[in-house]
């Protein structure tokens, strides 16, 4: 099909380039795709000269590249760039620093002589045929979501007798299938498109713009059924295999299935390093267990196959599931397309309880400490096929971070206060930081921790900064000791007041959308799941004659738009203590809940806590929210309502 005609609309003032046309034509045939791309772009400013850096990438074991032309149009004359200059093919891996062996070839050409005022024309065809899923064509295409002058076209053709499903996002106009010469065809063309308006704060499934998807798979069951043999075959273990010896070793250690599962996971995590392998059709096909064991490296596919083999050998129910590491929000609204997944792991079960085992992780020494899934959909791989399954996102039931501030102000209002500040980190963040600290010299650790503390601005002097990591509990503790200069308000005559650190909530953000946006879309809580706890203890100066200590720290136990706010406090003698927590427990909220937040924010602003001198009699609290014996390196802490 000839290139689309450009539009007569002039470029906006100051534009760096002007698109005459960008054209993509895909032919889905024989289980693969042939993608013809051509564009014509006029260079208006030096900023756009980068269009002259041409790059093409393809998988040589299942595809090829054909360059049809590279031309410069200048003052009505056409210069054929390829007459004197050729593409250079780079035959080396581009992402070795990211533990990736993808086998891609890259061809580059820096167009010589390109200058402002020139028009660049480029056309090429890239053929792709996946060796693993060879009889199924699938792909994604996109037209520009932003407003832009010019002609933009996407054309998809396929044999009239082949099964091929397609769909688009709602912001593209319908395109009827036409048939000619035995080929079906759909065409989407935009001319001077206006912006496709995004929806502020909406979940990812609402943010897809002008996307076209096609697939040769009948449904998700079909994809599951086609993928299953890849892992079934790769996970076969021969009697003489060294993997069988590892299975026998684990069996001999314990009959407890949980202990066996933990041993299998640790084996795959610790003994097999991660390297992505996309060579020779390996984009979807895992290596065999013996290949992986001999190499001592593998990607998510190969690690999953190895873990499956070991678990099955230990008589533990387990299956491979495809997931999207970005969460996969909205995958269920799309056609069965393997491109929508970028990761695979194992779902195992013991006594009906599911365990999500990812062999590409490290440091999972306790099954119960493995984080809950962050993906919304999985596709189990089964011999008979399986539909997509929804995964309920789980809120945290215990805090993952705890900040504990103990301030000794008994030396008086004008003297520096002695402070002990502990930070507790649980889970993956704790292990990652601990590994970083372990790799540093003691001097560097101290210096870095002190710098981190001083960046907060409250310290007069950080005397010591230490850390410890409990591998069994998976808890990292950072401890700072030194002095603060407390900001007491008031005076000796009117009484002193101190706003307690770590004892007040920030109001939630208001949520508003422009009128042209989708007002019915939910709002995403992008910090979900997050559970933090803060405790503050202040040992106050001895009351002056005629004065007593009072405090303001209103109890709070409120759920607002997917977030729980809780605070408790008490004053006993000359010691005040507060404990509060914030738990984002929902991934999304409705527009009505967002409106409730907006209405509530003005009343939320007075959520700080303070202690102050007062002359009137004050009835002290009967208790403190936690005692001196409270330990914080366990998840079982007083950070939420009982």
**pLDDT tens digit sequence for 563-574:** 999 999 999 989
Interval 38-90: pLDDT, tens:
999 999 999 999 999 999 998 888 889 999 999 999 999 999 999 999 999 98
pLDDT at residue 187 greater than cutoff 50? yes
CA distance 76 to 574: 88
- Cα–Cα dist 102/283, whole Å: 8
Average pLDDT, the chain: 91
Question: Residues 615-629: what's their mean pLDDT?
Answer: 63
**pLDDT tens digit sequence for 514-564:** 999 999 999 999 899 999 999 999 999 999 988 999 988 888 898 999 999
Main-chain phi, psi angles of 283, to 5 degrees = -65, -35
What is the pLDDT, as a whole number, of residue 615? 84
Q: Provide mean pLDDT across the span 177-204.
A: 96
Residue at token pair 């009117």: 494
Using N-to-C axis directions, what is the helix angle for 300-313 and 257-271, rounded to 10°?
150
Integer Cα distance of 355 and 347 in angstroms: 6
pLDDT given at position 279: 47
Q: How far is CA 179 from the centre of its chain?
A: 42
Q: Is the pLDDT of residue 94 over 80?
A: no
- Distance from C-alpha of 77 to C-alpha of 119, rounded to nearest angstrom: 10
Q: How many residues does the chain have?
A: 642
271 band by pLDDT with thresholds 50, 70 and 90: very high
Distances (CA, A) of 69 to 72, 86, 122: 10, 11, 6
Residue 605: the pLDDT is 62
Note the pTM of the prediction, 2 decimals: 0.89
Cis, peptide link before residue 529, omega less than 30° from 0: yes
Residue 320 near residue 285 (C-beta atoms within 8 A): no
Burial class (CB in 10 A: 0-12, 13-18, 19+), 624: buried
pLDDT, average across residues 110-136:
93
First and final C-alpha spacing in the chain: 69
Question: Which residue segments constitute the domains of the chain, with CATH numbers given?
Answer: 17-216 (2.60.40.3140), 221-390 (3.10.620.30), 401-413+486-614 (2.60.120)
- What is the CA angle 554-555-558, rounded to 5? 115
Instruction: Extract the runs of DSSP E, i.e. beta strands, from 427-519.
Output: 459-470, 475-484, 489-491, 495-499
- Residue 58: which of 310, 278, 319 has the closest Cα? 278
Token pair 């770590």: residue: 502
Q: What is the pLDDT of residue 151?
A: 98
Q: What are phi and psi of 526, to 5 degrees?
A: -70, -10
Instruction: Tell whether the model's pLDDT for residue 16 goes beyond 50.
Output: yes
Distances (CA, A) of 545 to 376, 493, 538, 572: 62, 12, 20, 18
**DSSP labels, 322-385:** EE-TT--TTGGGS-S-GGG--EEEEEEEETTEEEEE-TT------GGGSPPP--SEEEE--TT-
């Amino acid at each position: 099909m000839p290139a689309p005609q450009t539009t007569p609309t002039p470029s906006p003032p100051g534009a760096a380039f002007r698109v005459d046309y960008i054209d993509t034509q895909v032919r889905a045939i024989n289980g693969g795709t042939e993608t013809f791309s051509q564009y014509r772009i006029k260079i208006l400013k030096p900023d756009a000269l980068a269009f002259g850096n041409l790059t093409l990438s393809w998988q040589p074991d299942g595809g090829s590249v054909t360059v049809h032309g590279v031309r410069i149009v200048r003052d009505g004359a056409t210069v054929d760039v390829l007459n004197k200059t050729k593409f250079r093919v780079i035959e080396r891996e581009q992402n070795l620093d990211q533990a990736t062996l993808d086998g891609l070839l890259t061809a580059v050409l820096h167009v010589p002589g390109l200058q402002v005022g020139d028009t660049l024309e480029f056309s090429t065809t890239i053929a792709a045929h996946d060796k693993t899923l060879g009889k199924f064509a699938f792909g994604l295409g996109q037209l520009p979501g932003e407003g832009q002058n010019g002609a933009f076209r996407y054309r998809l053709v396929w044999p009239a007798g082949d099964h091929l499903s397609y769909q688009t996002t709602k912001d593209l106009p319908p395109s009827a299938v036409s048939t000619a010469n035995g080929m079906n065809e759909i065409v989407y063309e935009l001319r001077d498109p206006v912006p496709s308006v995004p929806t502020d704060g909406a979940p990812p499934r609402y943010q897809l713009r002008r996307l076209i998807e096609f697939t040769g798979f009948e449904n998700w069951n079909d994809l599951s059924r086609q993928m299953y043999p890849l892992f079934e075959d790769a996970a076969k273990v021969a009697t003489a295999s060294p993997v069988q010896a590892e299975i026998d070793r684990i069996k001999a250690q314990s009959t407890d299935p949980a202990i066996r599962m933990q041993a299998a996971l640790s084996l795959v995590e610790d003994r097999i390093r991660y390297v992505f392998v996309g060579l020779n059709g390996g984009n979807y096909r895992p290596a065999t267990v013996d290949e992986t064991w001999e190499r001592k490296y593998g990607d998510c596919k190969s690690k999953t196959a190895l873990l499956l083999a070991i678990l099955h050998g230990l008589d533990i129910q387990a299956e491979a599931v495809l997931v999207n590491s970005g969460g996969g929000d909205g995958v269920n609204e799309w056609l069965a397309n393997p491109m929508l997944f970028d990761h695979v792991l194992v779902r195992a079960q013991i006594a009906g309880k599911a365990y999500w085992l990812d062999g590409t992780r490290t440091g999972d020494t306790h099954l119960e400490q493995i984080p809950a899934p962050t993906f919304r959909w999985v596709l189990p791989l089964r011999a008979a096929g399986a539909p997509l399954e929804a995964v309920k996102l789980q809120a945290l039931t215990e805090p993952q971070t705890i900040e504990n501030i103990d301030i000794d102000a008994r030396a008086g209002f004008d003297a520096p206060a002695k402070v002990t500040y502990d930070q507790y980190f649980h889970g993956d963040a704790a292990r990652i930081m601990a590994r970083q600290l372990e790799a540093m010299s003691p001097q560097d650790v101290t210096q870095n921790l002190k710098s981190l503390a001083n960046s907060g601005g409250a310290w007069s002097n950080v005397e010591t900064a230490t850390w410890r990591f409990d591998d069994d509990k998976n808890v990292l503790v950072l401890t700072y000791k030194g002095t603060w200069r407390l900001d007491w308000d008031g005076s000796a005559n009117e009484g002193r007041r101190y706003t307690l650190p770590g004892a007040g909530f920030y109001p939630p953000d208001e949520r508003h959308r422009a009128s042209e946006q989708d007002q019915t879309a939910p709002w995403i809580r992008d910090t979900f799941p997050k559970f933090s706890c803060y405790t503050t203890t202040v040992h106050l100066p001895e009351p002056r004659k005629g004065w007593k200590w009072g405090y303001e720290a209103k109890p709070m136990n409120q759920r607002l738009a997917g977030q729980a706010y809780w605070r408790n406090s008490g004053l006993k003698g000359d010691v005040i203590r507060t404990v509060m927590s914030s738990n984002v427990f929902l991934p999304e909220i409705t527009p009505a809940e967002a409106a409730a937040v907006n209405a509530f924010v003005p009343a939320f602003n007075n959520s700080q806590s303070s202690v102050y001198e007062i002359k009137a009699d004050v009835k002290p609290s009967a208790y403190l929210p936690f005692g001196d014996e409270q330990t914080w390196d366990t998840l079982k802490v007083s950070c939420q309502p009982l």
